[in-house]
Amino acid sequence: MPYPFHTLDVFTADRFSGNQLAVVMDASRLTSAQMQMIAREFAISETVFMLQPDNPAHSAKVRIFTPGQELPFAGHPTIGTAVLLAELQSQSNPGMDEAIIVLEESIGVVRIGVRRKSGEAAYAEFDTPKLPEVLSAPVSHDRMADALGLAPSEIGFENHRPTRYTAGVPYSFVPVRSLEAIARARMITPYWQGPFGSDGAYLYCRETVHTTAQFHARMFAPDLTMEDPATGSAAAAFAAVVHRFDDLKDGTRKLLIEQGYEMGRPSEIYLEVMVAGGLVRQVRIGGRAVRVSSGVLEV
Protein backbone atom coordinates (compact mmCIF):
# COMPACT_ATOMS: atom_id res chain seq x y z
CA MET A 1 0.00 0.00 0.00
CA PRO A 2 1.39 3.46 -0.90
CA TYR A 3 2.07 6.06 1.80
CA PRO A 4 3.06 9.61 0.81
CA PHE A 5 6.11 10.96 2.61
CA HIS A 6 8.20 14.12 2.78
CA THR A 7 11.73 14.76 3.99
CA LEU A 8 12.97 17.97 5.55
CA ASP A 9 16.19 19.41 6.91
CA VAL A 10 15.54 20.94 10.32
CA PHE A 11 17.32 23.54 12.45
CA THR A 12 18.73 25.05 9.29
CA ALA A 13 17.72 27.44 6.53
CA ASP A 14 19.75 25.52 3.95
CA ARG A 15 19.06 22.17 2.33
CA PHE A 16 21.58 19.38 2.95
CA SER A 17 22.52 20.69 6.38
CA GLY A 18 20.76 20.53 9.74
CA ASN A 19 19.03 17.38 10.95
CA GLN A 20 17.19 15.15 8.49
CA LEU A 21 13.55 14.22 9.09
CA ALA A 22 11.11 11.96 7.26
CA VAL A 23 7.36 12.40 7.72
CA VAL A 24 5.07 9.57 6.60
CA MET A 25 1.52 10.80 5.98
CA ASP A 26 -1.78 8.98 6.64
CA ALA A 27 0.00 6.27 8.61
CA SER A 28 -2.94 4.98 10.68
CA ARG A 29 -2.91 1.55 8.99
CA LEU A 30 0.72 0.90 9.87
CA THR A 31 1.55 -1.25 12.90
CA SER A 32 4.20 -0.25 15.42
CA ALA A 33 6.48 -2.96 14.01
CA GLN A 34 6.06 -1.56 10.48
CA MET A 35 6.80 1.96 11.71
CA GLN A 36 10.02 0.78 13.32
CA MET A 37 10.97 -1.09 10.14
CA ILE A 38 10.34 2.03 8.02
CA ALA A 39 12.41 4.16 10.40
CA ARG A 40 15.28 1.70 9.97
CA GLU A 41 14.82 1.92 6.20
CA PHE A 42 15.08 5.72 6.20
CA ALA A 43 18.10 5.36 8.54
CA ILE A 44 18.07 8.99 9.64
CA SER A 45 17.77 10.48 13.13
CA GLU A 46 13.97 10.38 13.33
CA THR A 47 10.93 9.45 11.26
CA VAL A 48 7.49 10.83 12.10
CA PHE A 49 4.28 8.93 11.39
CA MET A 50 1.21 11.13 10.97
CA LEU A 51 -2.10 9.87 12.41
CA GLN A 52 -5.59 11.28 12.88
CA PRO A 53 -5.71 13.32 16.12
CA ASP A 54 -7.74 12.13 19.09
CA ASN A 55 -9.07 15.69 19.37
CA PRO A 56 -10.39 16.87 15.99
CA ALA A 57 -9.43 20.45 16.90
CA HIS A 58 -5.76 19.43 16.80
CA SER A 59 -3.62 19.26 13.66
CA ALA A 60 -2.38 15.66 13.95
CA LYS A 61 -1.30 12.86 16.23
CA VAL A 62 2.31 11.83 15.65
CA ARG A 63 4.58 8.97 16.62
CA ILE A 64 8.33 9.50 16.50
CA PHE A 65 10.81 6.70 15.79
CA THR A 66 14.59 6.58 15.60
CA PRO A 67 16.10 3.62 13.69
CA GLY A 68 16.24 1.83 17.04
CA GLN A 69 13.22 2.82 19.11
CA GLU A 70 10.17 5.03 19.60
CA LEU A 71 10.56 8.36 21.44
CA PRO A 72 7.92 10.20 23.47
CA PHE A 73 9.17 13.57 22.27
CA ALA A 74 11.88 15.09 20.11
CA GLY A 75 12.65 18.63 19.04
CA HIS A 76 13.49 18.46 15.38
CA PRO A 77 10.51 16.19 14.50
CA THR A 78 8.24 18.69 16.27
CA ILE A 79 9.71 21.67 14.39
CA GLY A 80 9.87 19.89 11.02
CA THR A 81 6.38 18.39 11.17
CA ALA A 82 4.88 21.76 12.11
CA VAL A 83 6.64 23.51 9.22
CA LEU A 84 5.49 20.81 6.81
CA LEU A 85 1.84 21.02 7.92
CA ALA A 86 1.90 24.82 7.76
CA GLU A 87 3.27 24.68 4.22
CA LEU A 88 0.66 22.12 3.14
CA GLN A 89 -2.10 24.29 4.65
CA SER A 90 -0.78 27.35 2.83
CA GLN A 91 -1.26 25.63 -0.53
CA SER A 92 -5.02 26.08 -0.05
CA ASN A 93 -4.58 29.46 1.65
CA PRO A 94 -1.63 31.21 -0.05
CA GLY A 95 -1.86 34.33 2.11
CA MET A 96 -1.35 32.48 5.37
CA ASP A 97 2.04 33.63 6.73
CA GLU A 98 1.51 32.45 10.31
CA ALA A 99 0.00 29.27 11.68
CA ILE A 100 -0.51 27.44 14.97
CA ILE A 101 0.05 23.70 14.62
CA VAL A 102 -1.09 21.46 17.48
CA LEU A 103 0.51 18.03 17.66
CA GLU A 104 -0.48 15.16 19.93
CA GLU A 105 2.79 13.49 20.94
CA SER A 106 3.31 10.67 23.42
CA ILE A 107 4.60 13.20 25.96
CA GLY A 108 1.47 15.36 25.58
CA VAL A 109 -0.02 18.08 23.40
CA VAL A 110 2.52 20.47 21.83
CA ARG A 111 1.53 23.80 20.27
CA ILE A 112 3.92 25.19 17.68
CA GLY A 113 3.89 28.63 16.12
CA VAL A 114 5.10 28.78 12.51
CA ARG A 115 6.13 31.94 10.66
CA ARG A 116 6.58 31.93 6.90
CA LYS A 117 8.03 34.69 4.72
CA SER A 118 8.56 34.61 0.97
CA GLY A 119 12.11 33.71 0.03
CA GLU A 120 13.02 32.50 3.53
CA ALA A 121 12.95 29.16 5.32
CA ALA A 122 9.99 28.87 7.69
CA TYR A 123 10.65 29.36 11.40
CA ALA A 124 8.84 27.39 14.11
CA GLU A 125 8.97 27.53 17.90
CA PHE A 126 7.24 25.77 20.78
CA ASP A 127 7.18 25.69 24.55
CA THR A 128 8.46 22.34 25.75
CA PRO A 129 5.69 20.10 27.09
CA LYS A 130 7.83 19.15 30.09
CA LEU A 131 10.27 21.27 32.09
CA PRO A 132 13.78 19.92 32.76
CA GLU A 133 14.28 17.63 35.73
CA VAL A 134 17.58 16.67 37.30
CA LEU A 135 18.52 12.97 37.34
CA SER A 136 21.06 11.06 39.41
CA ALA A 137 24.64 12.25 39.26
CA PRO A 138 26.84 10.94 36.43
CA VAL A 139 30.01 8.90 36.94
CA SER A 140 33.55 10.23 37.30
CA HIS A 141 35.35 12.45 34.83
CA ASP A 142 37.89 9.68 34.19
CA ARG A 143 35.30 7.17 32.96
CA MET A 144 33.60 9.78 30.79
CA ALA A 145 36.94 10.81 29.32
CA ASP A 146 37.76 7.17 28.49
CA ALA A 147 34.42 6.78 26.69
CA LEU A 148 34.95 9.98 24.69
CA GLY A 149 38.64 9.66 23.80
CA LEU A 150 39.52 12.75 25.84
CA ALA A 151 41.80 13.49 28.78
CA PRO A 152 40.08 13.90 32.17
CA SER A 153 41.42 17.46 32.32
CA GLU A 154 39.38 18.28 29.19
CA ILE A 155 36.09 17.49 30.95
CA GLY A 156 34.67 20.59 32.62
CA PHE A 157 35.24 24.33 32.26
CA GLU A 158 34.73 27.29 34.61
CA ASN A 159 32.24 25.96 37.19
CA HIS A 160 30.51 23.60 34.72
CA ARG A 161 30.72 19.91 35.57
CA PRO A 162 28.93 16.81 34.17
CA THR A 163 25.23 16.49 35.03
CA ARG A 164 22.16 14.49 34.00
CA TYR A 165 18.80 16.03 33.10
CA THR A 166 15.67 15.14 31.17
CA ALA A 167 12.89 17.14 29.57
CA GLY A 168 11.27 13.97 28.23
CA VAL A 169 14.42 12.18 27.05
CA PRO A 170 17.40 11.66 29.44
CA TYR A 171 20.86 13.04 28.62
CA SER A 172 24.24 13.19 30.28
CA PHE A 173 25.60 16.72 29.82
CA VAL A 174 29.38 16.86 29.46
CA PRO A 175 31.13 20.26 29.50
CA VAL A 176 34.28 20.17 27.38
CA ARG A 177 37.13 22.62 27.85
CA SER A 178 37.58 23.84 24.25
CA LEU A 179 36.32 23.71 20.68
CA GLU A 180 39.46 21.82 19.68
CA ALA A 181 38.83 19.15 22.31
CA ILE A 182 35.14 18.73 21.46
CA ALA A 183 36.12 18.24 17.80
CA ARG A 184 38.40 15.35 18.81
CA ALA A 185 35.72 13.61 20.89
CA ARG A 186 34.50 10.23 19.61
CA MET A 187 32.69 7.20 20.93
CA ILE A 188 34.99 4.56 22.40
CA THR A 189 32.50 1.69 22.33
CA PRO A 190 34.11 -0.67 24.90
CA TYR A 191 33.96 2.08 27.56
CA TRP A 192 30.63 3.66 26.63
CA GLN A 193 28.06 1.72 28.64
CA GLY A 194 29.63 2.35 32.04
CA PRO A 195 29.47 6.16 32.13
CA PHE A 196 26.48 6.75 29.86
CA GLY A 197 24.28 3.65 29.84
CA SER A 198 21.30 4.38 27.58
CA ASP A 199 21.66 8.17 27.89
CA GLY A 200 22.62 10.35 25.01
CA ALA A 201 25.89 12.16 25.75
CA TYR A 202 25.51 15.89 25.06
CA LEU A 203 28.91 17.54 24.87
CA TYR A 204 29.10 21.34 24.96
CA CYS A 205 31.65 24.11 25.22
CA ARG A 206 31.56 27.87 25.49
CA GLU A 207 33.89 28.40 22.54
CA THR A 208 31.97 28.52 19.23
CA VAL A 209 32.53 28.53 15.48
CA HIS A 210 30.35 31.62 15.04
CA THR A 211 30.27 34.59 17.38
CA THR A 212 26.46 34.67 17.16
CA ALA A 213 26.24 31.37 19.10
CA GLN A 214 26.62 31.05 22.87
CA PHE A 215 27.40 27.31 22.94
CA HIS A 216 28.81 24.67 20.61
CA ALA A 217 27.46 21.13 21.04
CA ARG A 218 27.72 17.52 19.89
CA MET A 219 25.42 14.63 20.83
CA PHE A 220 26.33 10.95 20.75
CA ALA A 221 23.77 8.19 21.30
CA PRO A 222 24.79 4.74 20.02
CA ASP A 223 21.41 3.24 20.96
CA LEU A 224 19.60 5.86 18.84
CA THR A 225 21.55 7.38 16.00
CA MET A 226 25.31 7.43 16.80
CA GLU A 227 25.94 11.19 16.37
CA ASP A 228 23.07 13.61 15.92
CA PRO A 229 23.47 16.90 14.00
CA ALA A 230 20.85 18.82 16.02
CA THR A 231 19.10 17.69 19.19
CA GLY A 232 16.12 19.75 20.31
CA SER A 233 15.12 17.47 23.20
CA ALA A 234 18.65 17.83 24.63
CA ALA A 235 18.55 21.60 24.18
CA ALA A 236 15.30 21.64 26.17
CA ALA A 237 16.98 19.90 29.12
CA PHE A 238 20.15 21.98 28.63
CA ALA A 239 18.14 25.01 29.76
CA ALA A 240 18.44 23.69 33.31
CA VAL A 241 22.19 23.15 32.91
CA VAL A 242 22.70 26.76 31.85
CA HIS A 243 20.48 27.99 34.67
CA ARG A 244 22.38 25.90 37.21
CA PHE A 245 25.93 26.86 36.29
CA ASP A 246 25.50 30.33 34.76
CA ASP A 247 23.18 31.44 37.57
CA LEU A 248 20.49 32.89 35.31
CA LYS A 249 18.56 35.69 37.00
CA ASP A 250 14.81 36.17 36.82
CA GLY A 251 13.76 37.13 33.31
CA THR A 252 14.10 35.66 29.83
CA ARG A 253 17.42 34.60 28.35
CA LYS A 254 17.80 33.83 24.64
CA LEU A 255 20.60 31.53 23.49
CA LEU A 256 21.79 30.12 20.19
CA ILE A 257 23.34 26.64 20.15
CA GLU A 258 25.38 25.51 17.15
CA GLN A 259 25.68 21.78 16.47
CA GLY A 260 26.46 19.37 13.62
CA TYR A 261 29.62 21.09 12.35
CA GLU A 262 31.83 18.04 12.85
CA MET A 263 29.36 16.03 10.72
CA GLY A 264 29.26 18.56 7.89
CA ARG A 265 25.62 19.42 8.74
CA PRO A 266 25.69 22.80 10.51
CA SER A 267 22.60 23.43 12.64
CA GLU A 268 21.22 26.27 14.75
CA ILE A 269 18.88 25.73 17.70
CA TYR A 270 17.30 28.72 19.40
CA LEU A 271 16.76 28.23 23.12
CA GLU A 272 14.73 30.63 25.26
CA VAL A 273 14.73 30.18 29.05
CA MET A 274 12.31 32.03 31.31
CA VAL A 275 13.29 32.15 34.99
CA ALA A 276 11.00 33.39 37.77
CA GLY A 277 11.52 33.07 41.51
CA GLY A 278 14.91 31.53 40.82
CA LEU A 279 13.38 28.57 38.94
CA VAL A 280 13.08 27.66 35.26
CA ARG A 281 9.41 28.25 34.48
CA GLN A 282 9.34 28.00 30.69
CA VAL A 283 11.60 26.65 27.96
CA ARG A 284 11.09 27.44 24.30
CA ILE A 285 12.81 25.76 21.35
CA GLY A 286 12.95 27.35 17.90
CA GLY A 287 14.48 26.74 14.51
CA ARG A 288 14.04 26.81 10.77
CA ALA A 289 13.23 23.95 8.42
CA VAL A 290 13.21 23.37 4.66
CA ARG A 291 11.50 20.66 2.64
CA VAL A 292 13.92 18.53 0.60
CA SER A 293 11.89 15.80 -1.09
CA SER A 294 8.48 14.18 -1.47
CA GLY A 295 7.58 10.70 -2.61
CA VAL A 296 5.55 7.55 -2.05
CA LEU A 297 6.55 4.71 0.21
CA GLU A 298 5.36 1.22 -0.77
CA VAL A 299 4.57 -1.00 2.22
Question: Alpha-carbon distance 34 to 32, whole Å?
Answer: 5
Sign, CA torsion 10/162/133/211: negative
Q: Please report, as a single letter, which amino acid is at residue 10.
A: V
The answer to whether 92 and 57 have CB atoms below 8 angstroms apart is no
Sign, CA torsion 132/70/225/285: negative
> CA triplet 147, 148, 154: central angle to 5 degrees?
120
Pairing relationship of beta strands 163-166 and 170-175 according to DSSP bridges = antiparallel
Active site residues: 46
- Give which of 122, 123, 126 is closest to 108, Cα–Cα: 126
